[in-house]
Amino acid sequence: MAQKILVVDDNPGITGILKMFSGMEGAIVHTAAGGEECLAMVSREKHAIVLPDIVMCIHADSSMNRRALS
């Protein structure tokens, strides 16, 4: 069964590249443009890996990051 990966970034170029390369390895890749979209997606289904934008994590509410990664 393919692993699900969630890539969170507000730059569509970055999410596109990560989606392309991860998909080439057989992963199912979902993308979110921000924290709220990420939280909505992780509440609907489980992902093996969540790859957040590091700058977004620094500026975002840390409790939101904990909820997304728990």
Assess whether pLDDT exceeds 80 at residue 36: yes
Per-residue confidence (pLDDT) for residue 7, from 0 to 100? 92
Domain boundaries, the chain: 4-69
How far from 53 is each of 5, 17, 18, 26, 34, CA to CA, in Å?
14, 13, 12, 22, 9
The share of the chain scoring above pLDDT 90, in percent, equals: 37
Would you tell me which CATH number, out of the four given (3.40.50.2300, 1.10.150.80, 1.10.1040.10, 3.30.2350.10), belongs to the domain 4-69? 3.40.50.2300
pTM of the model: 0.76
Q: What distance in Å separates the CA atoms of residue 51 and residue 18, rounded to the nearest whole number?
A: 9
Taking 70 as the threshold, does the pLDDT of residue 62 lie above it? no
Q: Tell me the pairing of strands 49-52 and 28-32.
A: unpaired
Mean pLDDT of the chain: 82
